[in-house]
Structure 1
């Protein structure tokens, strides 16, 4: 979930929720571009709160939260003459609306919306409220106070919250509202929480404490460990909050400055760092950490992928690389140049799959070694080894290089070709040799799996990273296939606020994922799935290498890519497509990927 450090809020900040801009109320990390456009509070005329004067996430008699707000009253407010003529009183329905608005505010503050894609606020169906009115509110009354005590918060099967609210004039309670229930329900879903569901699930796993704001709603069970050196709360601080609260007081020099961050929200793929060995800021000898990531069984990347248990390769890369970012920061590398605001970037790496385990609901253990650190000319370069384990089995290994760079260095990047503009080869193909696919429309056939073949399609939503594919079946350097892909970059794309706070760039791993999407399109277009009864895409246990010399930024106009298929091999149990690829930021080639592979094989019955 999300965390906002503020405990009071102004009317202007509350109005930002009315317009669907939670980032203007709670902070930039609450932005959800393209997600949950209907999760808004009431418009200004119906807003029943002028300020939040107290927010305590662990307050109230149940320890789930306490929220206190104030509403200014005046005789000329619109609702008094409407109810009633010659006998103006504030309608009880409007005061009840204020209770719902306060609950909506609290749910958005917690970040419950990060567990939905396109939801609406809904009441808990069949749940009876008890409303006791103990006085009337008239035009001469100066102010109403709402005091909400949260009774329960849950995420399963949908996000919800229950609360009791008192409405006061001065010290006198005028309305006593009990048993308010609000849930977040995806549009198009027929499921609703009901009173019957609560009656039948008295042992439901409500969230007992929100102090940690754990971003993973379904963490896998794990064996108890000694206290980690960085828990989920400290990693939240590293991603979005006060870096010193994660890394130590030396890092207070970076308060109110841009500083290295780890990814957040949908791209936060590190749950804790269990151990560190070595000596910080002594770079002559290696340093090591052990991290863990609890894989949610219902993660967005399983939902959006072509198979519900297949982790995307980009997510696997991030699980391996994010602990590298942690150890770089923890090592103190940025203190080589403490007066400079440095950006942290991945330069190159390679990864080898040793096995293909089912990772759904598992805890992935990462072992990272920081091998070398070189500082020169306002730049720091570090090399790392990584290994990932699931159920004690090593399944992914590799090495990678990261660097710290100044604004000037990044502004002067020349890409992979020394500043020359080397165009994709698609322009050289005659129109009659190119097959075009529109990936901006999910109703197209390549997103619709055939009957009894549910995984024979392309990924959707957040994993759909291209707008068009141009396929030349006999093109490419090996004459075995060529694919061109393009995406028009939107500065509001979902991944920018996730990667990174204060320094938004598209993750290189998602560029790799876009290339894999293009390869999957080629495989489907070529009919490579036809030999299987129930085909699915999967990983291949081989080595892949990547090189980055630039980033996709918010101001980028378009991302282009091309793949050159180097081999298509039919094995007894799978068909493997191998390709080399490049990716462009506008007209500058910035990524190069070699020996990237996808497989098609039978899905388990």
Structure 2
């Protein structure tokens, strides 16, 4: 592992955190690598002179201080090198290890804290440990292929730009990107791709393993072979599909120079080589790009590495990539819908709407919103709208517009893994429908009359109904929305929308909703649902206080064999208090308190620069409390292969008059069980619910319902 320690600022016997069990290169230690840079030399910074070695100090005293500081710092360096290697090794196993800030060094500093990680001074960003990505944060490809191996003839077709012929019909892009080809303008160095893994590699972001050769062994040849492997992965993800006329360029598309480094372990030609591309990042902002580290092996040993390789797809000069002023499309922007139509806005624009340039997303009059608190779509795993297919309306006309959007829901989406439901959880039904409605309502310009005023987007409420039970895995959801009205008030703009969601051409969900765009002054005057009064929960109002029992949700979740249990990102409850035959209807009362951690994953997603808990997750928390009560009450006993579903034909209504902030400390919910309906192979529970932040009731849910049914049970 000597080559892994290069640049750690540590001399001596290298520390192996697992004594060869994990992370040891095959065949033991490899030769030391010679480092060159494809863009610039990045030397490892040497420790500076001790801070207290000043003019006028005797030579002997100075040497003594230097020796003392050197010994102390060497110990610090060794200890933190060990911690760093443990963190790196554990991250490859999917375990995140927090690395504390090292204690101040005497004189020379060997480590620095960057992006929450401890790294040696002078080590470039490309060498920093990359955390293992969770399912929620994984990049969602623009197209999917069943191909995991590519023969030489497949590679030849990619050099001709025939992505559809190699990867499948999802990559069809007629009339676009004539210059996007594998190894365009150069010699194809790869012979075969033996493995493409969408979720492989040390960080779970992807991996390509290919054979190549012969290579002349120069840094340029290793970089070229590594770049071709990166091009294959970019094409495999369909990154080109959101641009109309692009080319591959080094870097991330920001215009900054690429900073990849090439390390050589040996010199001379390589008759054959194995190329291992380990993807460290994929993003659509600022342009679609891939970052990776690449290992080149020959004869069973490391021949070299390319570190910090980055490759982007960038539009040719003069080619438009977003709407012009007024929301007008100057030309087709490259993205086709799932049905083969030319779209107006793609995943590329939605990503910029979430965390990039609003000017690219919606037009130049929105650019001033970039980099500041403004209306945004939720980010990463909570981005649940992909494309605007059509729009009957225009910017500035804020009533009567209609539009169609799409959202692809892959079966490996995080919410299918984490939900207790048989298919998509309620919060994604809500979130994707609301995001589709609000994004285009915002595109039409309700905030542009006062462009400099900071505004916060909030959903105020709505009503929705599930029309039929459907499994949405690997489906494209089409949404038809209509902007009913826009009301501009002093400090607030309100938009009402109606919508219908369809899959395979048939409706399955419909609703209506109200959004508000609020100034800072309006946000500061929120009074909740009770005109600012502190209304206690039902349980707190009872005298004498009734007996309660507790459902231990956390204990059930800790059992890997427990079924019908929400986990991971959707683990929203630890326990539920129950008053049997309590509540407003005498059929049962539920109360739960959820601690709010400022580091909860959703605050970074919803919304960037304006973090609040998604209202849909609040509703999901209520639903989980009801599901746990249904199971605890034994209402599902005797069912064969049961599963939770969203009840069909049962309208539910939500009203929000406030938001949960990272600083609120806790959220309290209560549910009044209203009805329990049983049928052959089915049981449905309906209730009314409220949620409180400290001192203020802010959510009200009416006729919220959960249903458990046997697989194959007949409808009501």
Q: Displacement, 1:306? A: 2.1
Relative to structure 1, the CA distance from residue 378 to residue 477 in structure 2 (aligned partners, 3 Å threshold; closer, same or farther) is same
Looking at structure 2, the residues matched to 384 and 68 of structure 1 have their Cα atoms a distance apart, in angstroms, of 51
Superposition pairs of residues 5-404 of structure 1, within 5 angstroms: 68=39, 70-73=41-44, 114-115=137-138, 121=203, 149=227, 151-152=229-230, 166-167=262-263, 179-182=275-278, 211=313, 222-226=338-342, 228-283=343-398, 285-307=399-421, 309-404=422-517
Q: Which of 498, 508, 512 pairs up with 2:615?
A: 508
Render the CA deviation track for 1:84-107: whole Å, top value 9, x for unaligned: xxxxxxxxxxxxx99x99877697
By relative contact order (CA 8 Å, sep 6+), the higher-ranking structure is 1
Relative to structure 1, the CA distance from residue 294 to residue 210 in structure 2 (aligned partners, 3 Å threshold; closer, same or farther) is farther
Relative to structure 1, the CA distance from residue 391 to residue 104 in structure 2 (aligned partners, 3 Å threshold; closer, same or farther) is farther
Relative to structure 1, the CA distance from residue 134 to residue 370 in structure 2 (aligned partners, 3 Å threshold; closer, same or farther) is closer
The answer to whether structure 1 residue 576 and structure 2 residue 687 are counterparts is: no
Relative to structure 1, the CA distance from residue 586 to residue 439 in structure 2 (aligned partners, 3 Å threshold; closer, same or farther) is farther
Q: Displacement, 1:509? A: 0.5
Relative to structure 1, the CA distance from residue 232 to residue 221 in structure 2 (aligned partners, 3 Å threshold; closer, same or farther) is closer
Q: Displacement, 1:432? A: 7.6
Q: Displacement, 1:146? A: 9.0
Looking at structure 2, the residues matched to 525 and 574 of structure 1 have their Cα atoms a distance apart, in angstroms, of 16
Flag structure 1 segments of 5+ consecutive residues without an equivalent: 1-13, 16-37, 40-47, 54-66, 83-96, 136-144, 159-163, 185-194, 196-207, 213-218, 450-454
Q: Displacement, 1:252? A: 2.3
SS at match of 1:236: helix
Relative to structure 1, the CA distance from residue 118 to residue 110 in structure 2 (aligned partners, 3 Å threshold; closer, same or farther) is closer
Q: Supply the RMSD in Å over aligned alpha carbons.
A: 4.6
Looking at structure 2, the residues matched to 414 and 535 of structure 1 have their Cα atoms a distance apart, in angstroms, of 42
Relative to structure 1, the CA distance from residue 406 to residue 126 in structure 2 (aligned partners, 3 Å threshold; closer, same or farther) is closer
Q: Which of 536, 551, 557 pairs up with 2:659?
A: 551
Relative to structure 1, the CA distance from residue 113 to residue 401 in structure 2 (aligned partners, 3 Å threshold; closer, same or farther) is closer
Relative to structure 1, the CA distance from residue 175 to residue 414 in structure 2 (aligned partners, 3 Å threshold; closer, same or farther) is farther
Aligned to 1:485: 592
Looking at structure 1, the residues matched to 356 and 498 of structure 2 have their Cα atoms a distance apart, in angstroms, of 28
SS at match of 1:335: coil
Looking at structure 2, the residues matched to 409 and 245 of structure 1 have their Cα atoms a distance apart, in angstroms, of 29
Q: How many residues align?
A: 476
SS at match of 1:324: helix
Relative to structure 1, the CA distance from residue 442 to residue 532 in structure 2 (aligned partners, 3 Å threshold; closer, same or farther) is closer
Looking at structure 1, the residues matched to 215 and 645 of structure 2 have their Cα atoms a distance apart, in angstroms, of 59
Relative to structure 1, the CA distance from residue 443 to residue 296 in structure 2 (aligned partners, 3 Å threshold; closer, same or farther) is closer
Q: Displacement, 1:221? A: 9.3
Q: Displacement, 1:372? A: 0.6
Aligned residues of 2:583 and 2:672 also touching (Cα < 8 A) = yes
Relative to structure 1, the CA distance from residue 106 to residue 230 in structure 2 (aligned partners, 3 Å threshold; closer, same or farther) is farther
Q: Displacement, 1:479? A: 1.0
Looking at structure 2, the residues matched to 589 and 52 of structure 1 have their Cα atoms a distance apart, in angstroms, of 61
The answer to whether structure 1 residue 421 and structure 2 residue 534 are counterparts is: yes
Larger displacement relative to structure 2 (108-117 or 517-526):
108-117
Superposition pairs of residues 410-449 of structure 1, within 5 angstroms: 410-427=523-540, 428=542, 433-441=547-555, 444=558, 448-449=561-562
Q: Displacement, 1:426? A: 3.1
SS at match of 1:518: helix
Looking at structure 2, the residues matched to 593 and 317 of structure 1 have their Cα atoms a distance apart, in angstroms, of 13
Looking at structure 1, the residues matched to 135 and 41 of structure 2 have their Cα atoms a distance apart, in angstroms, of 24
Relative to structure 1, the CA distance from residue 110 to residue 438 in structure 2 (aligned partners, 3 Å threshold; closer, same or farther) is closer
Aligned residues of 1:146 and 1:168 also touching (Cα < 8 A) = no
Aligned residues of 2:227 and 2:311 also touching (Cα < 8 A) = no
Render the CA deviation track for 1:7-66: whole Å, top value 9, x for unaligned: xxxxxxx99xxxxxxxxxxxxxxxxxxxxxx99xxxxxxxx99x999xxxxxxxxxxxxx
Relative to structure 1, the CA distance from residue 220 to residue 336 in structure 2 (aligned partners, 3 Å threshold; closer, same or farther) is closer
Q: Displacement, 1:229? A: 1.2
Looking at structure 2, the residues matched to 156 and 482 of structure 1 have their Cα atoms a distance apart, in angstroms, of 54
Looking at structure 2, the residues matched to 538 and 261 of structure 1 have their Cα atoms a distance apart, in angstroms, of 30
Looking at structure 2, the residues matched to 461 and 280 of structure 1 have their Cα atoms a distance apart, in angstroms, of 41
Looking at structure 2, the residues matched to 210 and 482 of structure 1 have their Cα atoms a distance apart, in angstroms, of 55
Aligned residues of 1:129 and 1:180 also touching (Cα < 8 A) = no
Q: Greater CA radius of gyration, 1 or 2?
A: 2
SS at match of 1:552: coil
Aligned residues of 1:584 and 1:591 also touching (Cα < 8 A) = yes
Aligned to 1:192: none
Relative to structure 1, the CA distance from residue 165 to residue 498 in structure 2 (aligned partners, 3 Å threshold; closer, same or farther) is same
Larger displacement relative to structure 2 (432-441 or 346-355):
432-441
Looking at structure 1, the residues matched to 670 and 652 of structure 2 have their Cα atoms a distance apart, in angstroms, of 17
Relative to structure 1, the CA distance from residue 297 to residue 497 in structure 2 (aligned partners, 3 Å threshold; closer, same or farther) is same
Aligned residues of 1:286 and 1:370 also touching (Cα < 8 A) = yes
Relative to structure 1, the CA distance from residue 510 to residue 156 in structure 2 (aligned partners, 3 Å threshold; closer, same or farther) is farther
SS at match of 1:400: strand
What is the TM-score of this pair, normalised by structure 2?
0.59
Aligned residues of 1:579 and 1:594 also touching (Cα < 8 A) = yes
Looking at structure 1, the residues matched to 311 and 684 of structure 2 have their Cα atoms a distance apart, in angstroms, of 47
SS at match of 2:597: coil
Q: Displacement, 1:166? A: 3.2
Q: Displacement, 1:470? A: 0.7
Q: Displacement, 1:433? A: 3.0
Looking at structure 1, the residues matched to 363 and 403 of structure 2 have their Cα atoms a distance apart, in angstroms, of 16
What is the TM-score of this pair, normalised by structure 1?
0.69
Aligned residues of 1:271 and 1:292 also touching (Cα < 8 A) = yes
Q: Displacement, 1:430? A: 7.4
Render the CA deviation track for 1:487-518: whole Å, top value 9, x for unaligned: 11011111111111111111100000000000
Aligned residues of 1:220 and 1:294 also touching (Cα < 8 A) = no
